[in-house]
């Protein structure tokens, strides 16, 4: 009888947890326009950037400007926006003043670097002072370059160099302090996190045996967020019910936490300089998109309390964690619940 009661309690808990949707959710910002998938949040400027013709208010989700941008990535806190391959500068990295672009007072870049080619740029602050900072910009071609940045000017301070030479990597993402890099190792077919030195050489920190979406580091380097796909059955069938949910890994101790579950797709997480995490959500029935603002500390605590976490997860544990069957982790003894 006692076992039956305990089973029923755990079953009910699992249902409640599944219904909860997103751990640590602070607010939902409905988007006025159907977005492209990469969102980049600048919490200083209170903007959400994405490709297209809509610069979005982080407060309202509405378009503040209809300026056309493509793959914009802000240098948060400095008022700059990087755009690769900008019109008329094939293959170059272009630097715009965010406010100029938004108000359309100046739609041409203030500075164009024809030396730094490639897309999928990400940015790390090698030092971040109030007046002047040093930032490193990397692109997926495997190149990086350093710049001195103030609110008024941007100046290259290094030549273009390659990083992680010899590694066939995809989806590289630089940490916000410019000291770590994550990506997909094509040859080994593993997701990796490496330390990146001043000269661009990389030293593997750890790997995990599962392909995930593009990762993003928090500003304090403690967390790394990503999405992963699964189908609802988690088994071979002709019915595809693709779900994408977000996960967070503690970079230091390699604990992985499931942050979202349920019927919505939650994907493309990105950290703000304010310590909060942001992610895109798609209601698959109404086809409405929102940006979610998430308290990362609450989210990981709630995930942990619900048993939605594993430490140095094996491939099987990742599969269980990524599964959309909410009760899997509750029932599967193989998953180590982090204490």
Partner 1 sequence: MLFTSTGADVTGESYFTNSDFERYVLQKKNAVIYVFSPHMYLSVKGIAEYKKIALSHGFHFLLLRDPNASPQAPYKVKESYHVLASNKLVQLGATQHYPSFLVYTNSKIIGLFNPGYDSPEKFSERLKQLSKK
Is there binding between residue 227 and partner 1 (CB under 8 A)?
A: yes
Dihedral angle, C-alpha 144, 145, 147, 151, nearest 10 °: -50
Is there binding between residue 328 and partner 1 (CB under 8 A)?
A: no
Nearest to partner 1 of 184, 219 (CB atom)? 184
Q: How far is the CB of 99 from partner 1 (least distance, A)?
A: 24
Is there binding between residue 325 and partner 1 (CB under 8 A)?
A: no
**CA separation for the pair 158, 313 (Å, rounded):** 39
Q: How far is the CB of 318 from partner 1 (least distance, A)?
A: 12
Is there binding between residue 37 and partner 1 (CB under 8 A)?
A: yes
Q: How far apart are the first and last CA of the chain?
A: 28
Long-range contact set of residues 61-66: C-beta below 8 Å, sequence gap at least 24? 61/29, 61/30, 61/31, 61/32, 61/290, 61/291, 62/32, 63/32, 63/33, 64/102, 65/101, 65/102, 65/103, 65/104
Is there binding between residue 229 and partner 1 (CB under 8 A)?
A: yes
Is there binding between residue 99 and partner 1 (CB under 8 A)?
A: no
Q: Phi-psi category of 215—alpha, beta or left, where left has phi over 0 and alpha has psi -120 to 50?
A: beta
**What DSSP line would sit under 42-60, residue for residue?**
ETTTTEEE-SBS-EEETTT
Is there binding between residue 189 and partner 1 (CB under 8 A)?
A: yes
Q: How far is the CB of 216 from partner 1 (least distance, A)?
A: 13
Q: Site for partner 1 (CB under 8 A): which residue of 123, 181, 212, 326?
A: 212
Is there binding between residue 230 and partner 1 (CB under 8 A)?
A: yes
Q: Site for partner 1 (CB under 8 A): which residue of 18, 44, 65, 141?
A: 141
Is there binding between residue 240 and partner 1 (CB under 8 A)?
A: yes
Select from 33-41, 74-82, 152-160, 295-303 the region that touches partner 1 (CB under 8 A). Answer: 33-41
List beta partners, residue 138: 122, 144
Q: Site for partner 1 (CB under 8 A): which residue of 15, 233, 297, 316?
A: 233
**CA separation for the pair 321, 315 (Å, rounded):** 10
Is there binding between residue 214 and partner 1 (CB under 8 A)?
A: yes
List beta partners, residue 226: 247
Question: Which residue, chain included where needed, has tokens 């899997």?
Answer: 328
User: Per the structure block, which two tokens stand in for 213?
Assistant: 């979406």
Is there binding between residue 185 and partner 1 (CB under 8 A)?
A: no
Which residues of this chain interact with partner 1, rule CB under 8 A? 34-38, 51-52, 70-71, 119-120, 140-141, 170-171, 184, 186, 189, 211-214, 227-231, 233, 235-240, 242, 244, 265, 282, 284, 287, 289
């Amino acid at each position: 009888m006692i076992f039956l009661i305990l089973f029923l309690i755990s079953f009910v808990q699992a249902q409640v947890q599944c219904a909860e949707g997103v751990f640590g959710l602070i607010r939902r910002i409905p988007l006025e326009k159907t977005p492209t998938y990469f969102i980049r949040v600048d919490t200083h400027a209170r903007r959400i950037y994405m490709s297209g013709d809509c610069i979005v208010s982080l407060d309202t989700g509405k378009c503040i400007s209809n300026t056309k941008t493509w793959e914009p990535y802000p240098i948060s806190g400095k008022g700059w926006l990087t755009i690769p391959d900008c019109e008329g500068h094939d293959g170059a990295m272009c630097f715009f003043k965010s406010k100029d672009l938004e108000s359309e007072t100046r739609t041409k870049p203030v500075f164009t670097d024809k030396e730094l080619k490639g897309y999928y740029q990400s940015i790390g602050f090698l030092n971040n002072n109030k007046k002047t900072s040093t930032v490193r910009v990397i692109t997926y071609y495997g190149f990086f370059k350093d710049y001195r940045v103030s609110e008024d000017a941007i100046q290259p301070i290094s030549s273009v160099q390659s990083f992680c030479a010899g590694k066939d990597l995809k989806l590289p993402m630089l940490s916000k302090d410019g000291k770590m890099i994550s990506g997909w190792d094509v040859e080994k077919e593993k997701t990796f996190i490496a330390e990146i030195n001043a000269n661009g050489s990389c030293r593997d920190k750890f790997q995990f045996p599962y392909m995930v979406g593009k990762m993003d580091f928090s500003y304090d380097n403690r967390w790394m967020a990503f999405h992963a796909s699964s189908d609802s059955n988690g088994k071979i069938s002709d019915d595809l019910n693709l779900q994408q949910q977000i996960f967070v890994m503690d970079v230091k101790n390699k604990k992985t936490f499931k942050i979202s579950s349920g019927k919505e797709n939650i994907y493309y997480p990105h950290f703000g300089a304010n310590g909060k995490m942001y992610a895109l959500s798609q209601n698959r029935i109404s086809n409405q998109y929102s940006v979610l603002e998430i308290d990362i500390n609450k989210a990981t605590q709630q995930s942990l309390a619900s048993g939605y976490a594993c430490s140095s997860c094996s491939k099987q544990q990742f599969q269980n964690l990524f599964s959309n069957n909410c009760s899997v982790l509750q029932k599967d003894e193989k998953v180590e619940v982090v204490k």
